[in-house]
Amino acid sequence: MTPAIGVATGMAAAKAAAEYYLERQVGEATQRTAAYYAQNETAAADAIAAGQGCAVMPRADMAPDVAAALALDPTKPVGVGQLTNLLAGLRADGAEIEGSQRGVRAYKHPFQGL
């Protein structure tokens, strides 16, 4: 999945974005073909059974510490609830990401003002 530019501004916006990303936009045959080439036919079958348009899978080569920090299992597809939490800036389980800075409204470039 290629993320869109931007950030969900709250849980409702994150849920709407997650549902949009997972809605069926291609036919089942296309989904099954993509899953075949990605060597993940089980995830596609589960997504099709759930009425989803895709199976959101974490990268198989994701660093274990990143997966742990985001509460993701790289061998399992990400569900709507987990994707909603991730898009809202939380861990997949809904907990805060350790060290995250919530509510930051401005970014100051480190070289600004030199």
Quick: pLDDT tens for 81-97: 999 999 888 999 999 98
Token match 């350790």: residue?
98
Place of tokens 């994701």: 62
Domain membership of residue 107 (yes or no) is no
Q: Is residue 52 part of a domain?
A: yes
Whole domain around residue 78: which residue ranges?
A: 11-87
55-to-25, 35, 51, 94, 100 alpha-carbon distances in Å: 12, 9, 10, 20, 27
Residue 21 CB neighbour total at 10 angstroms: 20
Please say whether the beta carbons of 81 and 91 come within 8 A: no
How many domains, the chain?
1
pTM of the predicted protein model: 0.68
Residue pLDDT, tens place only, 91-114: 999 999 888 776 666 666 777 665
